[in-house]
């Protein structure tokens, strides 16, 4: 059911755009290896790759992954179909991005985020952006729960932990002010 839900969602063409908070954080960083968790339509993975990152992009939806593979062309993007609740990509990374990794199905997100943190090289960053509030048209019911990872401060520094507001546009063009939760941590050793 979970896979079918996401495959059906991504059968509808999606706009290719980068999440603004990823662009803000990753824009000034030196390039390296990036992991995009829940890559969906692939806008973040393609944006990173066009800037010189080598990207591993993971999504549960085979439809999303195949679409990303088709659009990646010769860019350094490896698109992987996997259930993050069951499997996590091998390797270490300089950047791991999880943008709105919400689902209407059970997912131990904090466990996924801890595994993501463990996959970082020293100096690497984990960026998690979550819905802090839900727009009226949203199916997400996880909104409002702050991100907590309980990482050892001797190995991690918090570079950003805040809740900015933004104007979201719904499928019918309607708008609403919503809050995001942003957590950016850097592995210090």
Per-residue pLDDT of the chain (189 residues; tens, 9 = 90+): 588 877 887 788 777 789 999 999 999 999 999 999 999 999 999 999 999 999 999 999 999 999 999 999 999 999 999 999 899 999 999 999 999 887 767 678 889 999 999 999 999 999 999 888 888 888 665 566 677 788 999 999 999 999 999 998 888 899 999 999 999 999 999
Tell me how far apart the alpha carbons of residues 187 and 125 are, in angstroms, rounded to a whole number. Answer: 6
pLDDT computed for residue 107 by the predictor: 76
Tell me how far apart the alpha carbons of residues 150 and 102 are, in angstroms, rounded to a whole number. Answer: 20
To the nearest 5 percent, what fractions of the chain are helix, strand and coil? Answer: 25, 30, 45
Tell me how far apart the alpha carbons of residues 135 and 101 are, in angstroms, rounded to a whole number. Answer: 16
pLDDT computed for residue 132 by the predictor: 85
186 with 157: CB under 8 angstroms? Answer: yes
Contacts of 86 (CB under 8 A, 6+ apart): none
Which domains are delineated in the chain? 2-9+30-187 (3.40.50.150)
pLDDT computed for residue 131 by the predictor: 86
pLDDT computed for residue 102 by the predictor: 77
């Amino acid at each position: 059911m979970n896979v079918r839900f996401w495959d059906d969602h991504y059968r509808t063409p999606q706009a290719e755009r980068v999440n603004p908070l990823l662009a803000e954080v990753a824009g000034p960083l030196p390039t390296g290896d990036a992991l995009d968790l829940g890559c969906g339509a692939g806008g973040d993975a393609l944006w990173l790759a066009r800037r010189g990152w080598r990207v591993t992009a993971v999504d549960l939806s085979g439809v999303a992954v195949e679409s990303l593979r088709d659009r990646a062309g010769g860019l350094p993007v490896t698109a992987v179909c996997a259930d993050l609740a069951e499997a996590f990509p091998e390797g270490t990374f300089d950047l791991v991005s999880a943008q709105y990794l919400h689902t209407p199905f059970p997912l131990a997100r904090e466990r996924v985020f801890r595994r993501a943190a463990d996959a970082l090289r020293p100096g690497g960053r984990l960026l998690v952006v979550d819905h802090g509030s839900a727009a009226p048209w949203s199916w997400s019911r996880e909104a409002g729960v702050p991100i907590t990872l309980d990482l050892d401060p001797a190995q991690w520094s918090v570079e950003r932990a805040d809740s900015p507001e933004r104007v979201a546009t719904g499928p019918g063009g309607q708008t609403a002010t919503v809050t995001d939760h942003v957590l950016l941590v850097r592995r210090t050793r």
